[in-house]
Structure 1
Amino acid sequence: MPIRTRFTIWRTLAAAAVAALLAAFLTPAAAQAATRESRPVYSYANAVREAVWVDTGLDGDGDGRSDRVAADIVRPREPAQQGRKVPVIMDASPYYSCCGRGNESQLKTYDAQGNVVQMPLFYDNYFVPRGYAFVGVDLAGTNRSDGCIDIGGRSDIQSAKAVIDWLNGRAKAYTSRTGTTTVRANWTNGRTGMIGKSWDGTIANGVAATGVKGLKTIVPISAISSWYDYYFAKGAPLYDSGPNWLADAVESDDAHAHCAAVQQKLVDGAPRTGDWTGLWTERDYVKDAGKVRASVFLTHGLQDLNVRTKHFGQWWNALAKNGVERKIWLSQTGHVDPFDYRRGAWVDTLHRWFDHELLGYDNGIDREPMADIERHPDQWVTSKVWPPSGTRATTLRPATGAQPGVGTLGLLPGTGTETFTDDPKLSETDWAAKTGTPTPEKAGFVTGQLTRDLRLSGSSKVTVTATPTTATAHLSAVLVDLGPDTIRDYADAAEGINTLTDRTCWGESTAGDSACFKVTMAKTTSVGATVFSRGWADLGNYASDRKGVPLTPGRAYTITLDLAATDHVVPKGHSLALIVAGTDRDLIDPPSTTPTLTLDLSRTAVRVPLVGGAAAFTHATSGTTSVAPGATTLDGVRAPRTVHRVPMG
């Protein structure tokens, strides 16, 4: 891992006037220490707006010439006039013309000369007056770029990496898509931070995993870390279509006409069997975390059922293993940008993060708690590190109870069996509502009511030994907090927020680009049970995460399911439950048969990341003697929506 310098002694351009005054009265060291925040001293209305087309060095559409990607730039005019250079904030996206960015689905708009008028989101409005340039990159095959979209593959990543190379003098750019006049980025020092939600944040992860020089930080929001895990979970299909569907949704008309071969490669490389192929290896950024030079400030919704939380969990763990400087926010929302659930705090924190990472300010953000976690709607706590020190993987074991299908969960080895039949019509919400009731479609295992709070922080694993009656079978495992609560309504179409009509403004506006956005507030619901971690698998992948085989009915198989990362407190008076079942409606597709599965409880267990480890579990369950009653649905969380989710913002 390269050694990173925490602070760069480099004077901000945005505070040049202030720094000059300070320098007259203070020593150089004191003047630098006093500069802690970039200020909006530059004109947004007079900002330079220009477009360049950067040579990627690839020919994805096979037309015999190198693909060029469009980069739209908004930068303060004054620093360049003074011979000073500015850093860059970049969002590389496939959505600038097809689908829009943010809660209001904003698109890029252009003037008659082809220069950007409206840049979606608030980044340019807010940061350009503070001495940053903002660059919005159209991924290859989208909007005004050449080439073909390839869903997180080489072309996607090179679209953004080539722009960083150009910003640092290592690549060529042109003043038009087909012209020969080159242009240099002589207005920037090359220091770049990437930001973006969903696919955009995924590109930031992928570019960081190349180790490209000049990329100093990334802010991935609800981002993918491995594309296989977007489409499959150990062979179990999470969607009824593959990456070719997504490519078709975002391609430009030009790409539609020229990219059939690339589309076919996506089909061939993503078989519906769920087997791992070379296509997935190319799109696995976790394996390359050791190349990351940039710091990482990631955010994710703990109830994101689009880009599920396994993505941030495995990426975070890999970054930690490689000593990457990092920070994290975890909300109760689904697939929602922090600008729309914690706006003021988000803008302030993002401002301070970029000032620290791109301008070198010693503003203390690196010495603040690593993690912010939403415990209840709009109620946040912090952790000095994440997961907290003292978190230990603790093995809990299910055992049979007084009623079939309703067992216990504790530290002692389990005995006996439980049997259930896959019912694709039911979801995790249905199971959780009847955790303490014998039902034929699931097996539930529950602690008694806790006498102390119990916090789980990180990723879990469930090892299941199951005997199927058919040659195909899918498994689901979920962790449930049994007890009444008020939570964000993540299963609603807006995934935990309400959008109001009032607006708040974040930066400066022009006639064509407003800095004012609709206010949001938490959309809540009352529940009797909360599913807070999930995992799935095709039992046919028992011997390999990468290849499935037909099952022999009547034979026992052991498989481990990865449960998504979380940070959840099961409070005193509630119970912790593990449910094992078959198809989780709308979150995985059903198998081709309808199996009945028998669990061998002596060979079934869940490893959970408990703060305080086994001792914390013992203390929280001391004095509990009975299984908690079944959860009662109050207003309730509906089953996940039956739509094809794509990683859009």
Structure 2
Amino acid sequence: MKINQFSITPTSPAQRQTELARIRLLRDGEGDTMDAKGLFETLLVRTHLSCTTPLTGKEWLHDLLATPNLAIDDWLASDQELTNEIFYRVALQLLSFEPGVDFSLTAPLAAWHKLGLPLEEHDHWTSSDVINAYYLLLNTRGKDGQILIDQLTANGFLTWSYQLPAEQKPLFFNGKPLASFDPAHFVREVVYIETDMDTDFDGQADLVKAEIIRPAESSHGLKVPAVFTASPYNQGTNDEWGEQATHKIDYPLTHKKVGQEAPTEMTFPTNFSHRTVTGHAQQATQHFSDSPAYTLNNYLAIRGYAIVYAAGIGTRDSDGVQTCGSPEQTDSMKAVVEWLHGDRRAFTDRTSGITVDADWCNGNVAMTGRSYLGTLATAVATTGVPGLKAIISEAAISSWYDYYREGGLVRAAGGFQGEDADTLADETFSRTKRPADFARIKPVYDKYIHRLTQAMDRQTGNYNAFWDRRNYRKDIQGIKAAVMMVHGLNDTNVKPSNVKALYDALQSLPVTSKLILHQGQHIYINAFRSLDFSEMANLWLADKLWDVDNQADRVLPKVLVQDNAQPETWTAYDHWTAGEKLTLHLDEHSLIDGDVHIAKEVVFNDHQSDATYRAWCKDPTKWQAALMQDPGRFSHHFASQPADQDFLLRGTPRVSLAVASSSDHGLLSAALVDLGTDRRLTTSPVIINRGGLQLGYHWANDDLREFRLQKKPTSYRIIARGHINLQNRHDPATVDPLAPDQLVDVSFDLQPIFHHLRAGHRLVLIIYATDYAFTLRGNEDINYQLSLENAILTVPGINSLN
């Protein structure tokens, strides 16, 4: 087990005493009048809530060991002084680590170092040393996935703070607000925000429903920041519709005509009316009981942040149609930020015309969320909307073309073959949940979704006007908010190219950016035991939204990466891509590190027997297993020599070669493989304690989880893939002519990597055509000829780890 903490901000001894006094753990003069042992006992007893009398305090201390043989109360009665071993032996027990399981009672410091916990050692402990060390201990993560102060507050340590006057909140500790707001008295309210568009053609500006959870103190003078999650799933989904709208994929590519244009999608009215204002209310009049929640937001809610959810246009209780990533959808979410900032009006209901303000908000807004949610956070950030101070975008799309297309090909998101923009629009068009409303809007929506389906153009897979409107990268220069990006290096749903493009573009802007790369697929990381992500987010948002000078920009790493070879290992870096460029030349079966030119050709055929084809279509994992073992019939493998030491590969690999298809169309795919028998990390996090991560006192919880090493070794892992249509050799928007057996030069990127290649492992590049997990599956009898002269694989950055 290893704990990684990056959110502890430096504080002076005087500040530590002030903060300990603020949470009623240290009282005036105690640091001067008490010796180290007495002060240690006092702090221990005060942090254990059941110690309401000297007797109960003694009973509790009698169950904790100060030495391998003495309970704390017995040690206190002895003449033994406080030592490093005693303090940290007790600290491990407070952090829920078990003697004999997680650490040895005779070597607590060894365990402390192995766990990676923050440490202050002293030759002779004074009361000042106890104060400083105990302060640090309260900020130290334990076995249950929480820092000690959060573990205590989840058990009720700060319930007294619920009664503090609004002007004395929030309570800050180590630069972060504590859980000092009573969830039993949260205000839950609904408003309807007016946009400046009419996407359902009814002649009126669309309204967007927003649900708000905020502390009661925000109704009594405390101005709080807002954390907004834009989730088109929030008001329900049409799963059956999504299944019906899933496209067939088992058909071949066709030859593209040069200059062929895709149909355009519908445009929306510019002439419509806004609602007449009939009055103003001091507070919202509609309320709600519950809403699908992101657990990071639950963690933040009891720390004084208002939590806002909106599903946007085309969802239940809102107006408009579902447009899947368009500028209209972005604007509907931008409108929520504008209302929170005080720049737009909202109504208490859909019909009365009575407005209501977000006068409880301090005007500072952050956006959070994963996948579609993080995508819309990125989209809104590119508008530069005032009030949006930060986003935490996890597994977010930066260009929808890179989600549903690649290199002139229809390319599925991992696990969702046949899904497309129209499928997702149908799934999230939750106005269906109000039958009469749906009946009224159905003719308009049917017409709109038909045009959308044509405009997205599954026939060619080209980049066109439809995808250009959904490409947020064009507007990255407009970002003014600080950006924290989180992405899985093994995410085949929202591919890492999306975050790499955003990260690269942000490096030239005058905004703060942070990047966290984990080894997971399409997941949240806020409930990992090995990483203090929730505390990092709290520190980040305290700086951006509460305007607390807590050194967040300096303390948090620029780039933080989870190691793929060692469990529970997170390392800080300054850049994604760094190191020497690695260039490997393709030989007949080898990847050669050297300046060589191989005048050879290799050939493979993409066709399979009907039985094999049907089996692979039904279960692409069988295809992948066959691909790895293929002797060269439907692919070609190029392997490097075993690595003579551990290397770190960083950046976007690129393949360049010449290829000919026996047809007038074709595709090329590539997989980069780490080949070597090893115990690798599990592909998904393992639940350590279901429901065991308490997010507050009598509040929400989460499942504590972590990546583990697989029980059995595996022989390989695919670390990057890439695909290209041979008729889009220059860019996805340009169709190039292609004749049968015409040898053409092709260069294309694989997905970005940040990969630890162990000594003894090989890099293998597999070149093939049909990818049964991601591309169309036509099973055509096409021969592909690869010319190896000047054929290379490049990785922009490589570092030795020895």
Q: What TM bracket, shorter-length normalisation?
A: 0.7 to 0.9
For residues 21 and 382 of structure 1, do their structure 2 counterparts lie closer, same or farther at Cα, with a shift above 3 Å needed?
closer
Match of 1:408 among 591, 599, 604: 591
Is residue 75 of structure 1 aligned with residue 264 of structure 2?
Answer: no
Shift of 1:586: 1.3
Give the match for residue 375 of structure 1.
563
Give the match for residue 325 of structure 1.
512
1:301-320 equivalences in 2 (<5 Å): 301-320=488-507
CA distance in 2 between partners of 1:249 and 1:284 (Å) = 21
Name the stretch that deviates more: 552-561 or 201-210: 552-561
Q: 1:248 is aligned with what amino acid?
A: D
CA distance in 2 between partners of 1:350 and 1:33 (Å) = 14
Shift of 1:291: 0.7
Shift of 1:279: 1.3
Match of 2:197 among 58, 61, 67: 58
Does the 8 Å CA contact 1:341/1:497 hold for their aligned counterparts?
A: no
For residues 501 and 394 of structure 1, do their structure 2 counterparts lie closer, same or farther at Cα, with a shift above 3 Å needed?
closer
CA distance in 2 between partners of 1:86 and 1:96 (Å) = 23
What secondary structure, in the 3-state scheme, does the structure 1 residue paired with 2:336 have?
helix
CA distance in 2 between partners of 1:45 and 1:72 (Å) = 17
What secondary structure, in the 3-state scheme, does the structure 2 residue paired with 1:259 have?
helix
CA distance in 1 between partners of 2:779 and 2:630 (Å) = 28
CA distance in 1 between partners of 2:291 and 2:581 (Å) = 49
Runs of 5+ consecutive residues of structure 1 not aligned to the other structure = 1-14, 26-31, 101-110, 401-405, 621-649
Q: 2:229 is aligned with what amino acid?
A: D
CA distance in 1 between partners of 2:671 and 2:176 (Å) = 44
For residues 606 and 288 of structure 1, do their structure 2 counterparts lie closer, same or farther at Cα, with a shift above 3 Å needed?
same
CA distance in 2 between partners of 1:184 and 1:582 (Å) = 57
Please give the per-residue CA displacement for 1:587-629, whole angstroms capped at 9, x wherever unaligned. Answer: 22235733211111113222212234xxx6xx99xxxxxxxxx
For residues 235 and 440 of structure 1, do their structure 2 counterparts lie closer, same or farther at Cα, with a shift above 3 Å needed?
same
Please give the per-residue CA displacement for 1:520-545, whole angstroms capped at 9, x wherever unaligned. Answer: 34365432111111111111111432
Does the 8 Å CA contact 2:635/2:767 hold for their aligned counterparts?
A: yes
Match of 2:181 among 42, 52, 56: 42
Shift of 1:177: 2.1
CA distance in 1 between partners of 2:511 and 2:751 (Å) = 22
Give the match for residue 580 of structure 1.
767
Give the match for residue 385 of structure 1.
574
Match of 2:229 among 91, 102, 105: 91
Does the 8 Å CA contact 1:474/1:591 hold for their aligned counterparts?
A: no
Shift of 1:125: 3.3
Does the 8 Å CA contact 2:188/2:287 hold for their aligned counterparts?
A: no
For residues 326 and 503 of structure 1, do their structure 2 counterparts lie closer, same or farther at Cα, with a shift above 3 Å needed?
same
Does the 8 Å CA contact 2:674/2:718 hold for their aligned counterparts?
A: yes
What secondary structure, in the 3-state scheme, does the structure 2 residue paired with 1:564 have?
coil
Is residue 289 of structure 1 aligned with residue 476 of structure 2?
Answer: yes
CA distance in 1 between partners of 2:771 and 2:213 (Å) = 46
Give the match for residue 348 of structure 1.
535
Does the 8 Å CA contact 2:607/2:634 hold for their aligned counterparts?
A: yes
Match of 1:505 among 694, 699, 721: 694
CA distance in 1 between partners of 2:772 and 2:528 (Å) = 28
Does the 8 Å CA contact 1:423/1:583 hold for their aligned counterparts?
A: no
CA distance in 2 between partners of 1:610 and 1:216 (Å) = 33
CA distance in 1 between partners of 2:23 and 2:338 (Å) = 31
Is residue 221 of structure 1 aligned with residue 366 of structure 2?
Answer: no
For residues 549 and 593 of structure 1, do their structure 2 counterparts lie closer, same or farther at Cα, with a shift above 3 Å needed?
farther
Runs of 5+ consecutive residues of structure 2 not aligned to the other structure = 1-18, 30-170, 239-283, 413-417
Q: Which has the higher strand share?
A: 1
Shift of 1:553: 0.6
For residues 33 and 118 of structure 1, do their structure 2 counterparts lie closer, same or farther at Cα, with a shift above 3 Å needed?
closer
Does the 8 Å CA contact 1:428/1:478 hold for their aligned counterparts?
A: no
Q: 1:172 is aligned with what amino acid?
A: R
What secondary structure, in the 3-state scheme, does the structure 1 residue paired with 2:677 have?
strand
Whichever of the two has the greater Rg, that structure is 2
Please give the per-residue CA displacement for 1:94-144, whole angstroms capped at 9, x wherever unaligned. Answer: 1113259xxxxxxxxxx9954243451334532233221111112211132
Match of 1:515 among 692, 700, 718: 700
Please give the per-residue CA displacement for 1:34-62, whole angstroms capped at 9, x wherever unaligned. Answer: 86221222222112211111011111111
Is residue 246 of structure 1 aligned with residue 424 of structure 2?
Answer: yes
Q: Which has the higher helix share?
A: 2
Does the 8 Å CA contact 1:19/1:35 hold for their aligned counterparts?
A: no
Shift of 1:342: 4.7
Give the match for residue 353 of structure 2.
180
CA distance in 2 between partners of 1:281 and 1:447 (Å) = 39
Shift of 1:419: 1.4
Does the 8 Å CA contact 1:149/1:155 hold for their aligned counterparts?
A: no
For residues 393 and 350 of structure 1, do their structure 2 counterparts lie closer, same or farther at Cα, with a shift above 3 Å needed?
same
Shift of 1:549: 4.7
Name the stretch that deviates more: 602-611 or 346-355: 602-611
What secondary structure, in the 3-state scheme, does the structure 2 residue paired with 1:266 have?
helix
Name the stretch that deviates more: 120-129 or 294-303: 120-129
So what's the TM-score if we normalise by structure 2?
Answer: 0.66
1:92-107 equivalences in 2 (<5 Å): 92-99=230-237
Match of 2:660 among 467, 473, 478: 467
Q: Between Structure 1 and Structure 2, how many residues are aligned?
A: 570
Does the 8 Å CA contact 1:217/1:295 hold for their aligned counterparts?
A: yes
CA distance in 2 between partners of 1:116 and 1:382 (Å) = 41
Shift of 1:475: 1.0
Please give the per-residue CA displacement for 1:7-60, whole angstroms capped at 9, x wherever unaligned. Answer: xxxxxxxx9x949999x99xxxxxx99862212222221122111110111111
CA distance in 2 between partners of 1:352 and 1:169 (Å) = 25
Give the match for residue 637 of structure 2.
444
Does the 8 Å CA contact 2:411/2:776 hold for their aligned counterparts?
A: yes
So what's the TM-score if we normalise by structure 1?
Answer: 0.81
Please give the per-residue CA displacement for 1:305-359, whole angstroms capped at 9, x wherever unaligned. Answer: 1111111111111112334311122121111111354586221221112112212
CA distance in 2 between partners of 1:291 and 1:72 (Å) = 28
Shift of 1:557: 1.3
Shift of 1:417: 1.5
Please give the per-residue CA displacement for 1:256-301, whole angstroms capped at 9, x wherever unaligned. Answer: 6242232123212211111122111111011111111111111111
Q: 1:328 is aligned with what amino acid?
A: L
Give the match for residue 8 of structure 1.
none
CA distance in 2 between partners of 1:99 and 1:351 (Å) = 31
Q: 1:387 is aligned with what amino acid?
A: W
Does the 8 Å CA contact 1:498/1:523 hold for their aligned counterparts?
A: no
| Same amino acid, percent of matched pairs | 29
